Every structure is written in C-alpha cells, then in structure tokens.
Amino acid sequence: MRKLKVGKIWIPAFLLAVLVGGCGREQTGFVAPSVISTNPANLATGVPVTQTVTATFNNAMNPTTINTATFIVAGPGGAAIMGAVTYSGTTATFTPAANLLPSTKYSGTITTGVKDPAGNAPAINFVWTFTTGTIPTVTSVTPPNNSTLVCPNTAVITATFSHAMNSATINTTTFTLTGLGGASVSGQVTYAAATNMATFTPSGTLAPSTTFTATITTGAQDTFGVALAANFVWMFTTAAPCPPPTVTSVTPPNGSTPVCPNTAVITATFSHAMNPATINTTTFTLTGTGGASVSGQVTYAAATNMATFTPSGTLAPSTTFTATITTGAQDTFGIALVANFVWTFTASATCLPPGSIPLGAACSFGILAGSTVTNVAGTATSVSGDVGVSPGTAITGFGPPASITGMFHSNDSVAATAQADLLTAYNAAAGAPGGAVLPADIGGQTLPAGVYKTTSAQPSLGITGTLTLDGGGDPNAVWIFQIVSTLTTAANNSEVIPINGADFHNVFWQVGSSATLGTFTIFKGTIMAQTSITLTTGATLYGRALAQTGAVTLDRNTVIVPPCP
C-alpha cells in the first residue's frame, strides 16, 4: 500500500514540472518595449520652432499609458513645456502648446511608465536631445542705411539674410517701402534662395529728393519657421533726377595728329559706371575715308569706366578717322547719353620711333638724384647702369657687396646734363595729350598702349597685385602714366608685367612728387619723379629711378637699365 501512495504523489509532481518547463520555453521570444526612433533625431540641430516631437516604439503600446506624464519634452533648466500627447499605431506624438524657442536645446523623455498591452515596461527611461534653429537676421541691405543721392530712376531695394528663408513669407506684406508721410510704395518682391536675398522692385520711378524707409517685418521666417526677432528698418534718400552719363576723355584726343596707325587703340572714359552690355561695336564705332566702317573689337573696363575699340588691323596711314559713342550706350541705371559723342583723329604716315619720350643723357642712368643717392650700407644693391647726383654731391652705401656696371657721377658735367635732359623728358611726358583717367589703384588691370593719368580729385596712384601692359604684338607700343602726386606699389604684392611684345623701355611714369616701390615688388618702366624715389627692401626695378630735386634711396635692390636707343 505504501508503494502505491508514493506513485500517486509522484505522478502529479511530474506533470507540474512538465507544465512549468513548457511555459519557460514559450517565454524565450519575449522582447521588452523600447523606442526605436524619434523625430527630431537625437542631437539634431536647426529644428523648426513649429516642430512636433514623436517617438516610435518597437511594437504596439497600451495607449492609456502614453500621456504627458510618460512623454515629456523639457526646455532650458529641465522645465517641462506644455503640450498634448497622442498615440497611433506604434508612434507617440507630443504637440507643443506654443512654438518652441529659437536657438534652444530641448530634451525628450519616454519614462518607464509606458507599457505594452501585456503590461511590460522599458527597463529605463529613454532620453534624447535636439536644438532649435537660430533667429534669422538681415546682414546687408542696398541702398545702405542712411545713404544719400540714390538714383531714383532705377532704385532697387535688397535685403540679404543670415540664412535660408521661407520664400512664402517674403512678400509685399513683410517687405515694405514707404515714402513721404509714410505713404506706401507699390512694387514687387522676389526672393533668391541661392543668395538668401530679397528684392523689392518699385513699380515706377521713386520720387526725387525724398527719404524712403524700407522694412522687413517679423512676418519673415526662415525655413525652420523662426521669425526675425524684431522689424528691420533702414532709410535712404534719393537724389534729384539722375544725370545722364557723359564721355569725359578720349584717346586719341579729338583732332589729334599724327597718330601711329600701327598701334592705334581708341578709348572713351565715361563720367560714371556703364552697363557693359550696351558698350559694343554697335554703340562704339570707328569710320574712315568716306564713312567706311573699321572693324574691331570693343571691351569695357568697369574699374576705370573705360571703353576700348581695338581695330582688327593696322589703320590706313595719313587718314582721318571718326570715332562715335552713340546714345545706345547706357549707364547702370539704364540712362543713355543725351547725344552721340563724336571725335576725330588723323593717322600719321609713319609711327614715332621707340621710346618717344627722349631721355637724352639721362638714358644711361639707372639711378639719378637731385640731392643724394643713398644705399643701405652692407646691402647687395646692383645697378646695371650709371649712378649720379646733381646738383647734390653725396652718393653713399655703395661699398661691397653693392655694385654697378656703369660710372658714378657726383655733380659733374655728365650728371648736370642728365638732369637737364630729365627735365625735358619729364615735361614731355607731363604734356602728352589725352590721357584716360585712372582709379586709385590699377592692380589687376590690363592696359593697352596709351596715355593714362590721375586727377586732382584722385592725385595718387597705387598698384596692388599685377598690372599687365598689353603691347598688342607691337614692340614700339608706348605707355605714359601722368601722376599728379605719388606712386606707391604694395609690399610683397605688386608686379608690372609687359605682354604681347610690350617692352619696359617704352614705359614712362611721370610722378608729380615721390614714388615708393614696396618691399620685394617687381616694377617696370622709367620713373621720372619731381622730388624723390624710394626702393624699399628687395624691390626690383626694370628701368630707371630718376629724381629731379630730391633723393633716391635704395636697400638691397636690383636695377636693370634697358639699352638706350
């Protein structure tokens, strides 16, 4: 009987063990609920201020556990922001009660209070962060704030933003223009995404001599929904009706003769900036005998407001030519010349010889001064020509390692004669007719042969970067620069380069006061200064430094003198 009772007890125990073991095997596929993605993503930046925040789970959750207690969005200092939480499918959504703050770091948290339908919860809170976008600003405007004498004929108002804007928010409501008494100005507003620039184009000509106010309102928003912090306002004043452009100078000068037919280049300099598209072979023409058209190319240099007509071939000798700028030429405001501008010149039978500014006895001098010639002692200055002074007597600092290939002339008859011939050459260069007006700095330009000048309004001339002198294939091409005051080249960043047959012995710089060649710059041409010339450390001169009354100062320089005719 005892054995039977033991068997009866053992059988239920065995069945219970089997049941428990089976349950254990059914649980091996269990996966705890977790967040698999968020929007915005963790560490996202530039998040729109209108952003809703979502968290997606790995499987369906119990909706009753998804609420503002288990889905929290917090801002600065960890303070939870107000909002509503909804749940659909496997995604929970937090909709803020108000726009998020710009340039602010936020955190999202899914707590362990969320559960799946079986009551399972995540092991730990899920936390991520994101940062909203920056406030857009207006970085530049045209016309500039408080600018005056803005041409009323074609004024266009622009505002450039710090980053991309929502084009739908850039319109005539958010970009306005008002005039006298706050009266609105009608116009069109466009936005260029490539440049972040908004443009207000008035429907008509603005009133002259009037102050206008342009405004970008806080209705303008960036692509993240972030608005300007405050209205951006600027003002400008229009001028009286804009004057038409005029031709201020031409080369060859009107009525000039004789002009070398081999290398004639015809130029016209305008009073202000022109529209390059209107400067062409239709608006800039050249005719010869009987009004026959001369073929050529026309270019326009915005830096100097100069149009250039380059004939396709040699002009006919002993012939009078007529150059014309027509009323089709317009400035950047769309205003044309009032009338055609016409001038004439006559080509000579033959061309002037090379070096048409005669240097006489000064030609053999690499250095010629009026008071003193000074080289920094112990520096290896090299001059391939004569060094002289007159009426002064002092020439110092030319002991080894300095060297010259010519002779020293200290107030002797040779130096005195050279100074007299220098004066003649200086006056010849200063008196060369015509002359295209130069800007304050001619670095980066390419100039054909001709006469160029500064004016009393802008008397000095600088060269920063490369100045190219284009001979057009003619080795006899001559350049004359008439400088009212000073000539200066930029230290470590200046070079004069002759191309297409140009030769530096035909380049003349007539300087009304002093010239200074910056350190380690490379200069070409004969400098004829009224007072002094300074070659700073390491400057190289292919030409001559000829000063009439003052000193020539050197410091470890190389002066290469071209051969005399």
Please give the pLDDT value at position 335. 86
Domain boundary among 238, 273, 289: 238
Closest by Cα among 321, 340, 338, 398 to 559: 398
Gap between the Cα atoms of 337 and 341, Å rounded: 8
* The two three-digit tokens of residue 337, written as one number: 């010349």
- Write out the chain's pLDDT in tens, 565 residues: 444 444 444 444 444 443 444 444 344 567 899 999 999 999 999 888 889 999 999 999 999 999 999 999 999 999 999 999 999 999 999 999 999 998 899 999 999 999 999 999 999 999 999 999 889 999 999 999 998 877 777 678 999 999 999 999 999 999 999 999 999 999 999 999 999 999 999 998 888 889 999 999 999 999 888 899 999 999 999 887 777 899 998 888 788 765 666 656 789 999 988 999 999 999 999 999 999 999 999 999 988 899 999 999 888 888 999 999 999 999 887 889 999 999 998 886 655 444 468 899 999 999 999 999 999 999 999 999 999 999 999 999 999 999 999 999 999 999 999 999 999 899 888 888 767 889 999 999 999 888 899 998 899 999 999 999 998 888 888 999 999 999 999 999 999 999 998 889 999 999 999 999 999 999 999 999 999 999 999 999 999 999 999 999 999 999 999 988 7
Domain boundary among 132, 149, 165: 132
Tell me: do 364 and 425 sit in the same domain: yes
H-only helix segments in 235-308: none
Cis, bond preceding 498 (omega within 30 deg of 0):
no
Tell me: do 254 and 230 sit in the same domain: no
Tell me: do 308 and 336 sit in the same domain: yes
Gap between the Cα atoms of 184 and 179, Å rounded: 6
Q: Does 28 reside within a domain?
A: no
Q: Which domain holds residue 333?
A: 247-347
Residues forming beta bridges with residue 266, ordered by sequence position: 309
- What are the phi and psi torsion angles at 111 (to 5°)? -85, 170
Please give the pLDDT value at position 434. 66
Please give the pLDDT value at position 8. 47
Domain boundary among 317, 347, 377: 347
Q: Residues 261, 315: contact at Cβ < 8 Å?
A: yes
Q: Residues 337, 325: contact at Cβ < 8 Å?
A: yes
- Name the DSSP letter for residue 64: G
Amino acid in position 245:
P
The dihedral of CA 415, 420, 421, 426: what is its sign?
positive
* DSSP sequence for 68-111: TTTEEEE-GGGPBPPEEEEEETTEEEEEESSPPPTT-EEEEEE-
Tell me: do 179 and 214 sit in the same domain: yes
CA geometry: angle at 553 spanning 547 and 554, to 5°? 125
Gap between the Cα atoms of 72 and 85, Å rounded: 9
- Name the DSSP letter for residue 180: G
Gap between the Cα atoms of 234 and 224, Å rounded: 25
Please give the pLDDT value at position 11. 45
Q: Does 17 reside within a domain?
A: no
**Residue holding tokens 């001599």?**
209
CATH number at 228 reads: 2.60.40.1220
Tell me: do 385 and 336 sit in the same domain: no
Tell me: do 142 and 125 sit in the same domain: no
Tell me: do 128 and 142 sit in the same domain: no
Tell me: do 317 and 437 sit in the same domain: no
* The two three-digit tokens of residue 445, written as one number: 């330009």
Q: Does 464 reside within a domain?
A: yes
Q: Does 353 reside within a domain?
A: no
Instruction: Burial-class residue 201 by CB neighbours within 10 Å (0-12, 13-18, 19+).
Output: middle
How far, in whole angstroms, is CA 11 from its chain's centroid?
96
Gap between the Cα atoms of 471 and 492, Å rounded: 26
Buried b / exposed e across 100-118, counting CB within 10 Å, b at 16+? bebeeebebbbbeebbbee
H helix or E strand, kind and range, residue 211: strand 211-216
State the CB neighbour count (10 A cutoff) for residue 499: 12
Residues with Cβ within 8 Å of 265's Cβ and at least 6 positions away in sequence, in order, are: 251, 308, 309, 310, 311, 448, 449, 450, 472
Q: Residues 492, 519: contact at Cβ < 8 Å?
A: yes
Tell me: do 538 and 402 sit in the same domain: yes
Tell me: do 526 and 453 sit in the same domain: yes
Q: Residues 557, 540: contact at Cβ < 8 Å?
A: yes
Mapped onto helix, strand or coil, the DSSP state of residue 269 is strand
Gap between the Cα atoms of 195 and 61, Å rounded: 47
Please give the pLDDT value at position 550. 96
Instruction: Burial-class residue 21 by CB neighbours within 10 Å (0-12, 13-18, 19+).
Output: exposed
pTM, 2 dp: 0.44
* The two three-digit tokens of residue 174, written as one number: 């958010």
Buried b / exposed e across 121-143, counting CB within 10 Å, b at 16+? bbeeebebebbbbebbebeebbb
Q: Does 6 reside within a domain?
A: no
State the CB neighbour count (10 A cutoff) for residue 423: 15
Tell me: do 423 and 441 sit in the same domain: yes
Q: Does 15 reside within a domain?
A: no
Q: Residues 537, 516: contact at Cβ < 8 Å?
A: no
Q: Does 331 reside within a domain?
A: yes
The alpha-carbon radius of gyration of the chain (Å, integer) is 41
| Backbone region of residue 450 per phi and psi (left: phi > 0; alpha: psi in -120 to 50; beta: other values) | left
Q: What is the dihedral of CA 112, 115, 116, 120, to 10 degrees?
A: 70
Gap between the Cα atoms of 262 and 475, Å rounded: 11
Tell me: do 44 and 180 sit in the same domain: no
Please give the tally of structural domains in the chain.
4
Gap between the Cα atoms of 345 and 205, Å rounded: 40
Q: Does 177 reside within a domain?
A: yes
